[in-house]
Homo-oligomer: A and B are copies of this chain.
Amino acid sequence: VITSGTLAVYLVTDEPSRYTGDFLDAVDDAVAGGVTVVQYRDTESDDRTQYTRARRLAGLLRGRGVPLIVNNSPALALAVGADGVHLGQSDLPADVVRRIVGPGCVIGLSITCAEEARAVDPACVDYVGIGPVYDATATKPDAASAMGLVVFAEIRRRLESFPAVAIGGMTLDRAPAVYASGADGLAMVSAFSRATDPAGVARAFRDVHARRGGEG
């Protein structure tokens, strides 16, 4: 199972075409700096290519003791022995995925508005990703509009029994307020994929997390 500490600094991989070097090196750097969990997200590649990439990532993270979550695909999660699968509202329903992946696999669910927070079943969902909190990121052109920190905090309270990560526009400047608003972790794509020093970015977020106040 996933704990709130596991979610502290949550790296979501960017589309393969957005990495200038090997994405695995970029992820490895970030993990060395203190990333606590990695989600493999790739909407560009075919399933065979995703399988190859996710397997390499799983091997790397196993060696580092960092959990791997696979976006969207329960089959890919099972195929590479990932620790979990992250679902959006237009993916397979969480109760259906629970039957497929079994009780030992982490299931995360994206929540984009208060309405979606009403019917989250703790038997099926292990943690929630709430957002986008700030301006829709450049990495997800189809993302919902930003909810802002007030709505984030309100949704987070409604789902208080779940560990929760905030996503969307997470920066070092904003991080203290987001942790203080009840986020157990911050999920980030471009903060890592566009960084020249992913390890330094991870260290900086870990520092903010360690010094966090508020409900954390």
Q: Which residues of A contact B (CB under 8 A)?
A: 46-49, 51, 72-76, 78-79, 89-93, 96-97, 99-100
Contacts and interface: CB of A to CB of B under 8 A. Distances in A.
Q: Chain A at the B interface: mostly helix, strand, loop or mixed?
A: helix
Given A46-B90, A47-B92, A48-B89, 12 more contacts: A46-B91, A47-B72, A47-B90, A48-B92, A49-B90, A51-B92, A51-B96, A75-B97, A78-B100, A79-B92, A79-B96, A79-B100
Contacts of A92: 47-48, 51, 75-76, 79
B93 A48 contact: yes
A185 B99 CA distance: 34
A45 to B, nearest CB: 9
A143 B89 CA distance: 31
A204 B47 CA distance: 37
A79 B99 CA distance: 8
18 contacts: A46-B90, A46-B91, A47-B72, A47-B90, A47-B92, A48-B89, A48-B92, A51-B92, A51-B93, A51-B96, A73-B75, A74-B75, A75-B92, A75-B100, A76-B92, A78-B99, A79-B92, A79-B97
